[in-house]
Each structure stands twice: as C-alpha cells, then as structure tokens.
Amino acid sequence: MSDYLIGDVQGCFGPLQALLKKIKFSIDKDQLFFLGDVVNRGDQSLATLRFIKDLGENAKMVLGNHDFHLLACALGVRKPHSKDTFDDILAASDSQALIDFLLQQPLVIQHKKAILVHAGIPPSWDEKMALKQSLKVQKHLQSNDVGNFINNMYDNHPYTWSNDLNEMDVCRYTINACMRMRVCKPDGALEFSHKMGHDAAPDGFKAWFLHDDRALKDTDIFFGHWSTLSNVKQAHIYPMDQGCAWGGALSAIRLKDKQITSIDC
C-alpha cells in the first residue's frame, strides 16, 4: 500500500491517467492526495473532478486558489474569467454534487506527520495552528451563508497575521496564505505580485519555506501552486507543481520513500 501526493492537475485529465498508470496505482491498496488546483486551465476539469470525487476514501485533496475560484463562480459571487476552463463543471448535470464535494475539502491535511497544503504555511504556525485555521475556514465553507463568506474572502487584507484579528480577517489571511502565498516576511506579512523563482523575492521577503525560525522547519511539507520553483534544496520541503497546464509535467511523490514519478504534459 502506498500514498501518492500529486501536484496541480488543473483539469489535465489525460496526463493524470497516464501518471496513475505509470505508478501502477491500485484503487484497492493505494491512496492519492491532491495538493490543490485540481481544476481550471486544462481542458478536462469536469472529468478530473468527477474522477477524484468518485475515488471516495481512496483520494483526499486540499483546496487551491483555482478550486476556490470555481466555488465563487458556482455560487454566483464571481464571474468566470476569459481564461477559465471550468464551464463544463458549471453546466454539468451533477454540478451541485461536485460543488458540494469541493465545499467539504480542507485547506490543510496532516497525514503520517507530513503537512499537505496548496501554497504554504506561515512561518510562525505550527501543525496545531495550521489545522485549527483550516478547520475554521472549512466550517464557514459548510455553512448556510457560504456565498457571502466566499465573497468576503476576495481581498488581500490583512497582509500580516495577528492573534487579534477578527473572525473574517483570520479566515481571509488563512485562505491567502494557504492558497496564494509564495513569499512573505518573517512575521508572515504576505506579498502577492511575485510569481518567479524563490531566489528573486522582493526586498524584505523570502520564500515562505526559507525563513530560519519557521515553526515547521523539521516537518515534511508538500505543496503545489508555485510552478516556477526549481532547484529547491531545502530540507523537508517538497514543491510538486510542475506546470502541467503550461506544458510542463505532472508529478506524484510516494510518501514512504519520496520517490518522484513524472509525466510530460
């Protein structure tokens, strides 16, 4: 039995099936963990999301920013962008069931002492804090007022974490950090314009995983989101977005031995 962690699929259903064939995935004994952004940009978002949902207990996922954007569009609080490719989900006969499935998903998963997240974990957060804040957001996503909640999450503020933030600011910071963050300051202050490699961060900022005093520096963290990362040598850090939707690769890492298997897209 093996656990495989898979980077951003983004609706690339064909490469996903090819990757599962290459790792000899067995639905009877293996488990898949998707690191967010399972939909959008590729041309088969519907097939991808249906497949993951239908795997039941054999698959788990964290929400990514593209998954969150799909939720916002499905709930009518945002309109799709011209580059979005999830109209097939919005028009599907089982659209509501698929959206309900996404609304049940967390931002952070702890599995066998490893942390799974789409973008990253603020430097000051330990496992307990990350899971606590993920659960807080998840409860709002499962509330009767979820549309209003998601609409209120579309803002960059607050940029910096504080224990004194109100409930909505806590959730907004959590979503922005776990789904969108690439670089930050030691106090967790976020910056959203930088999308290039980790060696060219704006002044005063570092890749979130490079801060010396990170609470989780000895914990394995697997994440996606940052397709321009390369040559990351940081201990316990496993970036898994290989840019499949942009002609790169789709990769899975086997948890027990960190063996990576990839498919060119």
CA angle 39, 31, 179 (to 5 degrees): 40
Q: What is the pLDDT of residues 237-248, one digit of tens each?
A: 999 999 999 999
pLDDT over 80 at 53, yes or no: yes
pLDDT recorded at residue 206: 93
Percent of the chain with pLDDT over 90: 92
Q: What is the pLDDT of residues 65-81, one digit of tens each?
A: 999 999 999 999 999 99
pLDDT recorded at residue 199: 72
Domain span including residue 19: 3-264
Question: What CATH number should be reported for the domain holding residue 181?
Answer: 3.60.21.10
User: How many domains does the chain contain in total?
Assistant: 1
Q: Can you tell me the distance from the alpha carbon of 231 to that of 28, in angstroms, rounded to the nearest whole number? A: 35
pLDDT recorded at residue 197: 74
pLDDT recorded at residue 92: 98
Mean pLDDT computed over 48-76:
97
Mean pLDDT computed over 128-136:
98
Q: Are 143 and 103 in contact (CB under 8 A)?
A: no
Q: Per-residue confidence at 154, pLDDT binned at 50, 70, 90? A: very high
Q: Are 3 and 111 in contact (CB under 8 A)?
A: yes
pLDDT recorded at residue 231: 82
Q: Per-residue confidence at 17, pLDDT binned at 50, 70, 90? A: very high
| Cα separations in angstroms, 26 against 23, 38, 53, 54, 225 | 9, 20, 16, 14, 27
Question: Which pairs with CB-CB distance under 8 Å and at least 24 residues apart come from 15-24?
Answer: 15/244, 15/250, 15/263, 15/265, 16/48, 16/51, 16/250, 18/263, 19/250, 19/251, 19/252, 19/261, 19/262, 19/263, 22/261, 22/263, 23/252, 23/254, 23/261
Supply the pTM of this predicted model: 0.96
